[in-house]
Amino acid sequence: DSGVTQTPKHLITATGQRVTLRCSPRSGDLSVYWYQQSLDQGLQFLIQYYNGEERAKGNILERFSAQQFPDLHSELNLSSLELGDSALYFCASSVNSLGNTEAFFGQGTRLTVV
């Protein structure tokens, strides 16, 4: 158990809908990172938050947004869903924003858009 909790584990929804994925980082970790893993693209970095503030953006679509709350949990919001958004979404946390400490990954949320 990495200490990073993601909910829900599975999500099936229709095209055009909006979903929210939740991530609770390890106790004491201030940074949260979101990644998308699809069959064709592999793992890709989406976005990073540190202590409530956005720190870095990767290949995140405009239809997607995220935030980190004062209790440090994070939510990834996916809207106007398309079939191609079906993927595993992982979050990871680390203690700081410097990237010099290990990151711990959650179990992922498998999103299926039908």
Residues near another protein (CB under 8 A) are: 2, 31, 33, 35, 42-45, 48, 50, 55-58, 90, 92, 94, 97-108
For residue 16, give the amino acid letter.
G
Can you tell me which residue has the tokens 């409530």? 52
Among residues 17 and 59, whose Cβ is nearest to another protein?
A: 59
Q: Which is nearer to another protein, 30 or 65 (CB)?
A: 30
User: Would you say 24 or 48 has its CB closer to another protein?
Assistant: 48
Q: Which is nearer to another protein, 14 or 98 (CB)?
A: 98
**Minimum distance, C-beta of residue 43 to another protein, in the bound complex (Å):** 4
Which one, of 67, 27, 26, lies nearest residue 46 by Cα? 67
Q: How far is the CB of 54 from another protein (least distance, A)?
A: 11
Q: Are strands 10-13 and 109-113 parallel, antiparallel or unpaired?
A: parallel
Apex 110 CA angle, 49 and 4, nearest 5: 45
Minimum CB distance to another protein, residue 16 (Å): 27
Q: DSSP code of 85? A: G
Q: How far is residue 5's CA from residue 110's CA, in Å, rounded to a whole number?
A: 14
Q: Residues 62, 78: contact at Cβ < 8 Å?
A: no
Q: How far is the CB of 80 from another protein (least distance, A)?
A: 25
